[in-house]
Amino acid sequence: MEKFEEKISSHQKLLLDNIEKSDEARMNLKDDIQNEIRLITEKMDKISEASLNMPKLSAPFSHITSHVKPKEEITNPLITDLSHQDNNQVLMKEAPQLKEWPTFTGEGEYEHISFIKTIDILQEDYAIPDELITARLHSLLEKYLKRWYYSIRKTNGKNDWSLWKQEIITKWANYPWRYKIENAFGNSFFDPDKNKPLTWLLKQV
């Protein structure tokens, strides 16, 4: 019985020794961790203080030279950074030559309408100024229309294109002309024995 008690007492003592050593090791580990944290904190404080004392650059990395070439922009030769006036001059150079412009004889029923519309489109597409259009009128008007042109110009002087259009409409799109066209439509009918469908339809347009 005494041996058993001695054995238990020996185990208890050993257990207490181990617990004491474990507590001591834990305390030492805690101290080591706290020391490491303190050292790291001191280093961070020094780095932060040094960065605050450094002179600030107005343009960071400005001393670094880039060797990458800027990307070249693709531009349309007709749409550039030129002024609006310069762009108009470029468009005018692309305008059709005088021989490609429509002429006006005053003889066709719809010729005056086609003549006006075509020149309006040319002016819009190629930024053609009124001065150039009116300067070409004497070459575009044929036969007796030249005398009519000179007569109007002598009376009213050099007008812009809008006024010349009105003069053409007044003379050729007058009431007798409208009556003639309306009467032609009224009397026009399709005769399958005399008319081809396509030819007849085109005449009605």
List pLDDT tens digits, range 120-135. Answer: 999 999 989 999 999 9
Residues 88 and 169 occupy one common structural domain: yes
> Are 87 and 80 a contacting pair, CB within 8 Å?
yes
Does any domain span residue 21? yes
List pLDDT tens digits, range 85-125. Answer: 666 676 767 888 888 999 999 888 889 999 999 999 999 99
CA dihedral for 100, 106, 108, 109, sign (positive or negative): positive
- Count of structural domains, the chain: 2
Domain of 20 in residue numbering reads as 1-49
Residues 28 and 95 occupy one common structural domain: no
CA nearest to 49, candidates 60, 41, 57, 39 = 41
Residues 108 and 164 occupy one common structural domain: yes
Does any domain span residue 167? yes
- 104 forms beta bridges with 141
Using CA atoms, how far apart are residues 8 and 187, in angstroms rounded to an integer? 138
Residues 166 and 93 occupy one common structural domain: yes
Using CA atoms, how far apart are residues 99 and 139, in angstroms rounded to an integer? 9
Residues 88 and 36 occupy one common structural domain: no
List pLDDT tens digits, range 133-192. Answer: 999 999 999 988 999 999 999 998 888 999 999 999 998 887 555 555 555 555 555 456
Name, of 41-45, 58-62, 115-119, the range with top average pLDDT: 115-119
